[in-house]
Amino acid sequence: MKKVPCSGCSLLCDDIIIKSDGLYIDEVIGACLKGKERFDQITAKNRILAPLIHKNGQLEKVSWDEALNKTIELIKDSEKPLLYGFSNSSCEAQLKGIELAKTINGFIDSNATICQGKVLEIAKETGITLTTITELINKADLIILWGANAAESIPRLLNKVLFSRGKYRMTGREIKTLIIVDPVQTASFNVMGVRDLSLFIEPNKDLDLIRALKEECCTVDSFPSEGVAGLDSDDLKRLLMHLSGTENGVIFIGQGLLSPQIESHVIKELLELIQLINLKQQKGRISVILLGGHFNMTGFDQVSLPIYGKNGGLQFNEGQLVDTNDTIISKIENDDFDCSIIVGTDPISHLPYGLSKKLASRPLIVIDNRKSATSHIADVVLPTAITGIEAGGLCYRLDQVPIELKKILNPPSKIPSDEELLSQIIEKLEKT
């Protein structure tokens, strides 16, 4: 029996106990359903265990040499290669991905570009107050889920920050207030107590609510009598009272606010509201945590920002970074690519149909450990070890805290890690 970190989601729980004989994992204790699914991936039916090449209208097993040679051929025939994913890879693999993009004059972006990445870009202008899970456990008295269904997306999050007792919050749940701002009743509402506040906001009216709160911060009793965004004036006053009276509050920003159909100035004005409240605070502050789903979505930001000053959307030409505002979305929309390398994600399933169709129309190389809609139509599929189980590496938790994942088992058939496979591709490119 030993304690290991879990790569089931971005919470990266480090208190999971496993029983293993070195060949298999016999028992997993303390993991949520997502964590259990991650460990079950070792023997899952959708596991990819051999290299595949699309031949005669279907994927066929081939040798590693044939698969790598086909990969090199597709890359060399490409003038505008696109690299995407990497949020389910270690930071070391992400660095190798950037190195590969630099080698082949490609464009590289992570899953964060359609999620938390936009918040960090906006924060360069407005500023952002971050916090950690440990600080929330010890000090938090107000927890706000804004467009976030934590109970299902990050299953153990509320257990850690809402129900736990910390150094300065010995009474735990009894003195912690939970506020949920959402247009639909999600599973997270099931943990609401009598002191908590449920705010069923009208869809796409978040900006109206934020602006009303900003106005109220400057002018007393400025809420209209008819309410704002479907919320009555009493709920609005209670919300403002909690925001302005908290000692240590946090707003978890979820995909409901980060989704593409909502304009980016919603995030900007929310960050401005938080800064405004913190300036007026006499006894506390409000912080932000971004709810990225993939276990190392934050890692790409940490790898890219210190080196290139950007947290994504890196375009290289002649080995140099080119200034661009492109993202994976704009690249596909504008047909500005002729080959794609997808690492550890499934854009064919996740992107809108129009973008998926364009992505599928060009040569496609997939690096992953599980079958997906993207791997099903790929020209080449290269299997890799499961990070956090069959390969170690550095990752960043959703609160920007680094966590070192451990190798527990050897991968089957000597399958390489993401980092090792990307290194092999780079070496072959340099030799040809």
Which residues, at least 6 apart from 234, have a Cβ–Cβ distance to it below 8 Å? none
Residue 376, pLDDT > 50, answer yes
Q: Does 277 or 284 have the greater pLDDT score?
A: 277
Q: Which of 29, 42, 2, 59 is nearest to 365 (CA)?
A: 59
236-250 average pLDDT score: 89
Q: Is residue 245 part of a domain?
A: yes
12-34 average pLDDT score: 90
% the chain with pLDDT above 70: 97
Q: Is residue 247 part of a domain?
A: yes
Residue 279 and residue 411 share a domain:
no
Q: Does 14 or 116 have the greater pLDDT score?
A: 14
Q: Using CA atoms, how far apart are residues 274 and 286, in angstroms rounded to an integer?
A: 7
Q: Is residue 30 part of a domain?
A: no
317-339 average pLDDT score: 92
Q: Is residue 10 part of a domain?
A: no
What percent helix, strand, coil does the chain show, rounded to 5? 40, 20, 40
416-430 average pLDDT score: 96
Angle (CA) 70-68-79 rounded to 5° is 55
pLDDT given at position 336: 94
pLDDT given at position 402: 96
Residue 349 and residue 265 share a domain:
no
Residue 322 and residue 219 share a domain:
no
Q: Is residue 400 part of a domain?
A: yes
Q: Considering its fold, how many domains does the chain have in total? A: 2
Q: Does 2 or 92 have the greater pLDDT score?
A: 92
Q: Select from 264, 290, 316 the last residue of a domain.
A: 290
pLDDT given at position 333: 94
pLDDT given at position 432: 78
For 44-58, 165-179, 243-257, 384-398, which range has the lowest pLDDT when averaged over its residues?
165-179
**pLDDT, tens digit, 9 for 90 and up, residues 261-276:** 455 688 889 999 999 8
User: The domain spanning residue 70 has which CATH number?
Assistant: 3.40.50.740
Residue 160, pLDDT > 80, answer yes
Q: Select from 266, 290, 314 the last residue of a domain.
A: 290
pLDDT given at position 218: 62
Residue 420 and residue 301 share a domain:
yes
Q: Is residue 40 part of a domain?
A: no
Place of tokens 């971005």: 10
Q: How far is C-alpha 254 from the chain's CA centre?
A: 10
Residue 142 and residue 194 share a domain:
yes
Which residues, at least 6 apart from 107, have a Cβ–Cβ distance to it below 8 Å? 80, 81, 82, 83, 101, 313, 314, 315, 316, 324, 326, 331, 336, 337
pLDDT given at position 261: 44
**pLDDT, tens digit, 9 for 90 and up, residues 178-237:** 999 999 999 999 999 888 999 999 988 888 889 888 887 766 566 777 778 888 888 888
Residue 54 and residue 185 share a domain:
no
pLDDT given at position 310: 86
User: The domain spanning residue 235 has which CATH number?
Assistant: 3.40.228.10
Q: Residue 394 belongs to what H/E stretch?
A: strand 393-396
Q: Is residue 383 part of a domain?
A: yes
Mean pLDDT (the chain) is 90
Residue 252 and residue 343 share a domain:
no
DSSP string, 329-347: HHHHHTT--SEEEEES--H
Res. 358 pLDDT band, cuts 50 70 90: very high
pLDDT given at position 116: 75
Residue 184 and residue 241 share a domain:
yes
pLDDT given at position 264: 62
Joined tokens for residue 16: 């999971």
Instruction: Write down the number of H helices and E strands in the chain.
Output: 17, 19
Residue 303 and residue 340 share a domain:
yes
pLDDT given at position 391: 95
Q: Does 20 or 94 have the greater pLDDT score?
A: 94
Domain that holds residue 247: 117-290
pTM of the complete model beyond 0.85 = yes
**pLDDT, tens digit, 9 for 90 and up, residues 43-91:** 999 999 999 999 888 999 999 999 999 999 999 999 999 999 999 999 9
pLDDT given at position 263: 55
153-177 average pLDDT score: 85
Residue 255 and residue 159 share a domain:
yes
Q: Is residue 137 part of a domain?
A: yes
Q: Select from 290, 313, 331 the last residue of a domain.
A: 290
